[in-house]
Structure 1
Amino acid sequence: MQIRQGMLAAALALGGLAAASQAGAEALNVTIVAGHPPVFRWVKHASQTFIPAVNAALEGTDYSIEWSEQYGGSLAKVGDELEAVEEGLAEIGLVSSLFDPAKLSVQNVTYFTPFVSSDSTAVSSWMDKLQETNADMKAAWHENGLEYLGGGIGIDDYLLMTTFPVNSIADLEGHKIAAPGPAVNWLEGTGAVGVSGNLTTYYNEIKTGVYDGVIVFASAALPGKLHEVAPYITKVGFGAQYAGGLAANKDWFDGLDPAVQAALKDAARADAVAYQQDLDASVEKFLGLMQQQGATVTEVDEAFRQQWASGMDNVARLWAQRLDGEGKAGSAVLKAYMDTMRAAGATPVRNWDQE
């Protein structure tokens, strides 16, 4: 009996020490920011995957995190996430490199190389690896006071959604088509009028006639209800893209205990896996749902795709040369990306780096 009481007392003492240790853990206040609202998958997973993974990794350590989640423009609008993190308004951000082309120019390589691969898992995972291994890509983050964590935002194959049917490239003549950032360049040679836009405004601007269509992706088109205002969906095969990822304020990150640093980077990797699995499971489903709700979905043939691609200027080469002239390694990054994707099995419609 005395032995049992002694064991119980010891167990309670150990439990008390563990509880005291956890209670005594240093609580870090961390704000995470995204310009897009949680209806978009990458923001949802920041909340549902990244944050819980960090918390789980820190259990039993000397640290815990009190999170403040600032999404949907509450702290920073789309494209302002980098500045919010750089200036210390937030410690971590879902940084949309797509909408910060001046500061994260080399990260936008996929948007200047359309028709390379429709496999968003391949594009995002290889871009995540390039952020770690390519000195020019790493430098772009560090120059802006950021540490890239991972969690690459892979974007599924871009579509053309319009208020009118598209049976040939000539059908685009004179129509205003919105596209995100550098994707406006994809419209060169089609006769369409390209306008820069983003997901947060597409619905209203199509509804009010500002645009006649948009270049967008299925996994965002359905939640954004774009098929209600642009019911003609054309699968052109522009390709999957990389639009950014999770990044931390570098000074803040560098001052963290290695255990916290590791927790953040490991969680970003977990986020990327969960996000991509979710994305892959949704794309065809979402296209089907939009079709059920009245949209018309068509897919162009290879001749159409080849005609579109060959009618464009070599926007990748022009982009790379411009960056070279600014002292940035545009041509080197372009070659690194294209070589990586070809080695991974991609068969580009145009080998942008070899022309």
Structure 2
Amino acid sequence: MKTIRTGLLAAVVAVGGWAAAPMAQAEDMNVTIVAGHPPVFRWVKHASQTFIPAVNAALEGTGHSISWSEQYGGSLAKVGDELEAVEEGLAEIGLVSSLFDPAKLSPQNVTYFTPFVSSDSTVVSSWMDELQHSNADMRAAWEENGLEYLGGGIGIDDYLLMTNFPVNSIADLDGHKIAAPGPAVNWLKGTGAVGVSGNLTTYYNEIKTGVYDGVIVFASAALPGKLYEVAPYITKVGFGAQYAGGIAANKDWYDSLPPEVQAALKAAAKADAEAYQQDLDASVTKFLGLMQEQGATITQVDQAFREEWAAGMDNVARLWAEKLDAEGKNGSAVLKAYMDTMRAAGATPVRNWDQE
């Protein structure tokens, strides 16, 4: 059950007034930006260090300015509740984790149902960012929830397997509890492992206390989360890079803004995505090395291992697409659009999920 209280919307509207009247004459605006994750994670850090300064710079000389309230780390909304916080007007802008809102943003989760497609996070995130604007089904998912997608795609580097036991074969996973984010739990089907849904804010303690034996995670979060201390065996399986969400605004509020403010927000989101991805690309190899220095054992599997893993899975992409089709959400079209886009961008998927 979501934790956001809808009754608070009336109070927010009464104080801010943005839902009741256009802001065309406003010179200074109070804007709250929300994220469930804390600033230790890169996408939140860049909201503060890149997105906000870029908006402020773009507004210079326009007669408009913004006073920001930054609410991160669950102070206003927990992980997965960012969409509701923005939709209901508790915040004007949010780093919306589509990964943790699969019912409302189901088309956005296509990458998590298509593992082993591409390990290039720049390619995955940039094309997914583009699809949020160009693909009608993805665009509709945001708008149906009262949001305007600004950009700033949260690209996630190639997912790893981190465990408290060595993994030399897929058979080694049998019977072990492995946590994964949202739909990534499906990646464990066919391995013998027991998949458990989890997220970065709980991984460390739950491995430490024996709730599960490992996680599917990415290097750029594993280091700041110190997961190598409790899961020192790092297996580079090549699950692939992913798209986990982006920056979105309350649509009623956004539509009430002057055109120059709207343009500033979208230009800043683009700048945020570029800076974030450059930062991410520069960090992944470094972070793996630092974890190794701290005692982690890193193993890279071969193509045969990846093919065995992928072949042992159900076609989760096809099942996901058919489920969305039945709900009238054009899942098969979204799946084909994404896979076609990635193949055209040079990806060589281990399985062509849409063609089976």
Q: Corresponding residue for 1:121?
A: 122
Q: Corresponding residue for 2:166?
A: 165
Q: Corresponding residue for 1:182?
A: 183
SS in 1 for 2:162: strand
Aligned length: 332
Measured on the aligned residues, the alpha-carbon RMSD in Å equals 0.7
- 2:157 aligned with 1:156: yes
Q: Corresponding residue for 1:260?
A: 261
- For the 8 Å contact 1:37–1:73, the answer to whether it is kept is yes
- 2:225 aligned with 1:224: yes
- For the 8 Å contact 1:25–1:61, the answer to whether it is kept is no
For 1:329 and 1:215, the matched residues in 2 are separated by 29
Shift of 1:302: 0.5
- For the 8 Å contact 1:120–1:154, the answer to whether it is kept is yes
Q: Structure 1, unaligned stretches of length 5 or more? A: 1-23
- For the 8 Å contact 1:36–1:77, the answer to whether it is kept is yes
Q: Structure 2, unaligned stretches of length 5 or more? A: 1-24
Q: Corresponding residue for 2:44?
A: 43
Shift of 1:338: 0.1
For 1:330 and 1:309, the matched residues in 2 are separated by 21
Amino acid at match of 2:321: A
SS in 2 for 1:281: helix
For 1:26 and 1:195, the matched residues in 2 are separated by 49
SS in 2 for 1:161: strand
How do 1:1-355 residues align onto structure 2 when only pairs under 5 Å count?
26-355=27-356
SS in 1 for 2:167: coil
SS in 1 for 2:190: coil
Identical positions, percent = 89
Structure showing greater Rg? 1
For 1:328 and 1:270, the matched residues in 2 are separated by 31
For 1:333 and 1:25, the matched residues in 2 are separated by 39
Output one character per residue of 1:28-64: Cα deviation in whole Å (capped at 9) or x when no partner. 0000000000000000000000000000000111100
For 1:106 and 1:337, the matched residues in 2 are separated by 10
For 1:329 and 1:290, the matched residues in 2 are separated by 42
Give the ranges of 4+ consecutive aligned residues of structure 1 lying more than 4 Å apart after TM superposition: none
SS in 2 for 1:200: coil
For 1:235 and 1:135, the matched residues in 2 are separated by 35
Q: Corresponding residue for 2:3?
A: none
Shift of 1:291: 0.2
For 1:93 and 1:332, the matched residues in 2 are separated by 28
Output one character per residue of 1:14-40: Cα deviation in whole Å (capped at 9) or x when no partner. xxxxxxxxxx97110000000000000
For 1:349 and 1:197, the matched residues in 2 are separated by 26
